[in-house]
């Protein structure tokens, strides 16, 4: 479909799609913020780079920083690979398992 569009229309379409995605993301983030206030978790685990970039910092590098803990306000936050990545790249499963064990240890140390 995109091959048939002229370059200007293609870029306008991409801009419109990005605008919609950002609007949805902003609405989801407001909802997440309110949920976090109500639940007040000790630990937050981001599933994937996009969530980590939103909650930890915009330049978060999931391949280098997954499993590392960051203190933000009252929360300990970490990120792990998105589960969909494990379907595409099964070699990441061992790293994910190590991250999950570390999360379990952190939870046990808090409780």
Report pLDDT for 4. Answer: 53
Residue range 54-58: average pLDDT? 90
Q: CB of 62 within 8 A of CB of 95?
A: no
Higher pLDDT, 30 or 109: 109
Whole-model pTM: value is 0.73
Q: CB of 76 within 8 A of CB of 70?
A: yes
d(CA 32, CA 44): 11
Least confident of 17-21, 25-29, 41-45, 99-103: 17-21
Which 3 state secondary structure label does DSSP give 31?
helix
Q: What is the mean pLDDT of the chain?
A: 80
Higher pLDDT, 60 or 12: 60
Positive/negative CA dihedral, 103, 109, 40, 55: negative
Label the pairing between strands 70-72 and 75-80: antiparallel
Which 3 state secondary structure label does DSSP give 63?
helix
Report pLDDT for 31. Answer: 79
Locate tokens 């939870």: which residue?
107
Q: CB of 16 within 8 A of CB of 27?
A: no
pLDDT above 70 (res 66)? yes
Q: Which of 106, 83, 108 is nearest to 95 (CA)?
A: 83
């Amino acid at each position: 479909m995109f091959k048939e569009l002229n370059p200007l229309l293609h870029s306008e379409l991409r801009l419109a799609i990005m605008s919609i995605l950002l609007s949805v993301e902003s609405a989801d983030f407001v909802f997440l913020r309110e949920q976090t206030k109500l639940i007040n978790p000790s630990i937050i685990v981001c599933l994937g780079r996009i969530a980590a970039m939103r909650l930890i910092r915009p330049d978060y590098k999931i391949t280098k920083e997954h499993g590392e803990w960051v203190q933000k306000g009252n929360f300990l936050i970490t990120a792990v690979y998105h589960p969909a990545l494990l379907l595409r790249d099964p070699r990441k499963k061992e790293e994910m398992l190590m991250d999950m064990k570390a999360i379990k240890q952190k939870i046990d140390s808090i409780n």
